[in-house]
Amino acid sequence: MHHYTLCLIKRKEELLLLNRRKKPAMGMWNGVGGKVEKGESPLNCVIRETLEETGIHLDEPLYVGNAVFKMGNKIEKLYLFMAELPEDTAFHTPMYTEEGILDWKPVSWVLDHDNLGIINNLKCYLPKLLNGEFGLEHSFIYEDHRITEYRTNRITEVEVHRAHLMRF
């Protein structure tokens, strides 16, 4: 199983999203994050990846849950974090980076049913996160890049501990 992190950075009613240049999810808008490195905790990973991808240093991103993706025999786990920036934070976009295009997107645009440019799993769990429904594991089964099953389960205290302290 591979372990990754994702951070959803909010400012007012906007989210800072990345339109990826490379696989996976090339050309799709998603939060920022990346692969948990050996010896690194998910919390340290999300802080590092956010700084690398955006230049923003997050002191204490909030761990809000997990997403697990099953694609055939392959399983990936995503530790989900959120951070809220003050309204007066100056971060000008669009910004072109090695990873892709960073841009502030209105939450209403992200959640719009007709918006096909958002990675499909984000549209499943983002409304719950924005409503403060934290502590859930969002499980997805994929076939041919399509979600065939989505369910949620409450996570345990062990999982919360793992997200903050456990090193892989």
CATH of the domain at 135: 3.90.79.10
Residue 116 has what pLDDT? 95
Q: Which residues of the chain have pLDDT under 50?
A: none
Collect all residues with Cβ–Cβ distance below 8 Å to 58 and sequence separation of at least 6.
7, 9, 46, 47, 50, 51, 83
Tell me: the pLDDT tens digits for 92-128? 999 999 999 999 999 999 999 999 999 999 999 999 9
pTM of the full predicted structure? 0.94
Element (H, E) at 114: none
Retrieve residue 9's tokens. Answer: 């950075």
**Which domain, by its residues, includes 28?**
2-164
Number of domains, the chain? 1
Amino acid at 89: T
